[in-house]
Structures are given as structure tokens and as C-alpha cells.
Amino acid sequence: MSLFAVTSNLTAEADVVRRRRYGVIETCAGRLDRIVWRPFPKIVTALGAQFLAPCLRRLRRGNRCRLYFNEPRSCPGFLALRYVESTIDADFATVRRALAVLDEVARLKNSDALLCDVTNLNISDRMLAWFGWVPHAPMPGHRNFIKRRK
């Protein structure tokens, strides 16, 4: 098994989806491009998310979205949406497709719920509710959301 395996067909490679814990969903122009399975989780820092990422976003072109997710070892029944990265040209259909693929990964892994901590203030609670996410475990300075599957 390679460290960075690539999946482009979820139904044909369902056993890989169930076995791997960390991945990046890449969509392009409203379609699934691939899922890159990683040997380690995505680490997000405040410096990277708030200062470095917006600068890099302006440089990248194309209608692309990357969605990083983890299945924490301490909580095997949950998927954590760690980070979403899109190009400046990304449209709503591309981001929506990435979220739909995440839902399919959760279904194949038989996960109980999806979790995320939203730091971008441009992402409204109303938009998250439209996608099925509800507020969860309120904490000062954090906007935690959960999307239950069962």
C-alpha cells in the first residue's frame, strides 16, 4: 500500500475508502477529480489559515476545490472536516460537489457524523444549515458544527 494512494472511483475502491483515515478530496469544474489518501492528518495553524492561505489563493487559477478530512484515531466513528481550500475561480458547484463526495466517504466508512470548526466569518450559519450542518459544542472563539448521518 503506497503512502499517497489515489482514488477516483469511490464505488469501485470502497475497500480503500474504508481502510484509509486521512485524505484530500479534489474537485474540478463541479466533478470529482480524485481523492489523495495521506499517511498523516492535515495540520491547520492560525498563521496558515488566516494569512498564508489568502495570499496563495490569489495566485492559483482554475475552478478547483480541495477538502481535507481526517478520521481521528481517538474517534473512529467520526470524520473531521479539517480544511477547505479553493481557487479564486472556484464556483459553488465545485465546492458543493466536494461536500457531496465527503458525504459519500462518510457513508462508505459508516461514520456516525461529520464535524468541523468554522473559522471563516464569510461562511454563515445559514449556509451551513442549508448543507445540513448544525451548531455543536459551543465554545468561546469557535464555531463548531456537526452533521449527523444516522
pLDDT in tens, 115-129: 998 887 788 889 889
**CA separation for the pair 98, 104 (Å, rounded):** 10
- Architecture in CATH for domain 6-148: 3-Layer(aba) Sandwich (3.40)
- Chain centroid to Cα 18, Å, comes to 16
pLDDT in tens, 90-122: 899 999 999 999 999 999 999 999 999 888 778
Instruction: Report residue 137's pLDDT band, with 50, 70 and 90 as the boundaries.
Output: confident
pTM of the prediction? 0.84
Pairing verdict, β 134-135 and 113-117:
unpaired
CB 32 within 8 A of CB 8: yes
Closest C-alpha to 147, from 112, 97, 119, 120:
112
Helices marked H in the chain: 14-19, 46-47, 53-59, 92-108, 125-130
Q: Residue ranges per domain, the chain?
A: 6-148
Pairing verdict, β 31-38 and 134-135:
unpaired
